[in-house]
Chain A
């Protein structure tokens, strides 16, 4: 198949459409506005619906409304906008609605800046909204990987009835890369497969099958049952859906942990360090929730490994999960910048060299 040169935002949007998404609700915010722009032109071509909402708050609640009918729905935003969506994300999780939410992360806190960042790891992975819930969270490191993940996102979202989050740094959305686009999926709402959805119940039908999209369970026992069910789903996701890339980890002297674009910079550093005779591996989580704790520990817990370096485009957020995974088995160093200052190959090389010197 021929490769097409595409901007990340547009590739993500096109992949969502090919994965069956027919409803997009969003609000403009840099650096992801190309997604709604692309959707506004493309959705009508495939008989779908693009709607510019009055706010991110409204957009995620429109997602709640459309997903409740069984449709494949998507919204995208960037950090401050995703903060506004947190209420609705929690409701989607509580009502067990499958949907895809894109966060093209920019610098924060507050308005921060419009440059690439990984500053919303905590928000995406550790909650964001209220209550005990998780989102299956993908952190693509290339435009192609974002496309490939999108093609499985709805299947996973529908299988587990949980929202899926794309935690992409601004670089992924803004850069152009040659990509292979998959074929269009032929998705139709199947009431048999989505018995929970509002697909046209009428009086006289089985009362148990009436569509009720809801996250309130007012009495103590029913909320406990609901949360137990959610936790059982999350355990299943943890058991089955962890994804990661282990690169050059076997017998490595040092292990770098990084996600998204930063992991690609780390690979360049690893190549330079190899020339200096230092063997460095990379453990890159692709799902940041569920976090691949065992894979990180396995990469690190080798006699050859002298230290671990976590590199992020923030002040050290995934670092906490890396430390949990390693649990004191090896020393973990951190190197990172917050929004807009990409860690450079030279900086990562220098950091590993200083670790080697015991600094």
Chain B
């Protein structure tokens, strides 16, 4: 019988620990499928290294079926730099959340981009700290409630939410920066294409690439998964517009 569909071999059989409705499952699957497809296209057998962050995806090393690191909070781009410099023939990717990448790890991500480090970053932005239980992130929207801004984030006190794709696109050596979402089938298809492009650019020896994926956190947003998707569409996408922020390969 012909196989029409099967689980990608780049995900282990370990059951995800993620909450119901969390988008990490979709994004993990996209990353693993891209690796699977590129592995065949570019002969990357045994040449994949992933770096997990601190945050909800801290256990990503249990899920991605390849050589993996678990990095200190925010340091994944530095760890990936060390791995890529010592093993330049590998596809090295980091998988980071917004607390990790946009707060404690800003120096590491900016300078990985600044050096044109040949790594790819999948940046999952859900506008909150998930693992520690719903605290305000630099990406938390104005008015959005979190356990450390119980009356909602205010611009006066905490500034406006940081826009990482826009910011990193301004770094001269950044090669490809795109923001996607996984809230609709069409967007999921686009997200996969973006991740594939980023990984492909890396293996072509191009510079730093990042795909920001807008994501929901029903648990810490205090919403049902369906409500959370709606909230993302109505609130996150207007503030964090989807699209290509930089693509030196298309210029």
Contact = CB atoms under 8 A, between A and B. Distances in A.
Do A and B form a real pair?
A: yes
Interface of A: 22-23, 25, 49, 51, 53-55, 57-59, 61-69, 71, 73, 87-88, 91, 95, 198-205, 207, 210-216, 218
B243 to A, nearest CB: 28
B67 A210 contact: yes
Given A49-B86, A62-B85, A55 B67 contact: no
B107 A67 contact: no
B46 A200 contact: yes
A58 B67 contact: no
Contact of A64 (B46, B79, B90, B114): B79
A64 B81 CA distance: 10
A73 B86 contact: yes
A202 B46 contact: yes
A198 B67 contact: yes
B231 interface: no
22 contacts: A22-B86, A23-B85, A53-B111, A54-B107, A55-B107, A57-B108, A58-B75, A58-B78, A61-B75, A61-B78, A61-B108, A62-B78, A65-B81, A65-B83, A71-B86, A95-B70, A198-B83, A200-B46, A202-B46, A212-B70, A214-B69, A216-B59
B221 interface: no
B47 A200 contact: yes
B99 to A, nearest CB: 16
A348 B69 CA distance: 51
B72 A212 contact: no
A211 B86 contact: no
B69 A66 contact: no
B61 A214 contact: yes
Interface string B77-92: 0111111111100100
Interface in B162-207: none
Determine the interface band of chain B, counting residues with CB < 8 A from chain A.
35 or more
A68 B10 contact: no
Contacts of B46: 200-202, 205
B71 to A, nearest CB: 7
A147 to B, nearest CB: 24
B131 to A, nearest CB: 11
Nearest to A23: B86
Given A198-B83, A215-B70, 13 more contacts: A23-B82, A51-B81, A54-B107, A58-B111, A62-B81, A65-B81, A87-B72, A91-B72, A198-B68, A211-B49, A212-B61, A212-B69, A218-B59
A212 B111 contact: no
A42 B85 CA distance: 16
A203 B67 contact: no
Contacts of B47: 200
Contacts of A49: 85-86
Contacts of B107: 54-55, 57-58
A65 B51 CA distance: 9
Nearest to B45: A202
Contacts of B68: 198, 210-214
Nearest to A211: B67
Nearest to B69: A213
A19 B71 CA distance: 27
A88 B72 contact: yes
Interface of B: 9-10, 12, 45-49, 51, 58-59, 61, 65-72, 75, 78-87, 90, 107-108, 110-111, 114
B30 to A, nearest CB: 17
Nearest to A199: B67
A202 to B, nearest CB: 4
A88 B76 CA distance: 12
B71 A61 contact: yes
A73 B111 CA distance: 20
Contact of B87 (A54, A88, A198): A198
Contacts of A65: 51, 69, 78-86
Contacts of B61: 212, 214
B108 A54 contact: yes
A208 to B, nearest CB: 12
A87 B111 CA distance: 19
Contact of B66 (A25, A67, A202): A202
A87 B78 CA distance: 13
B70 A62 contact: no
A201 B67 contact: yes
A91 B79 CA distance: 11
Nearest to A54: B111
Contacts of B81: 51, 58, 62, 65
Given A64-B71, A201-B67, A210-B65, A73 B87 contact: no
Closest 5 CB pairs of A and B: A65-B82, A198-B67, A61-B78, A200-B46, A62-B82
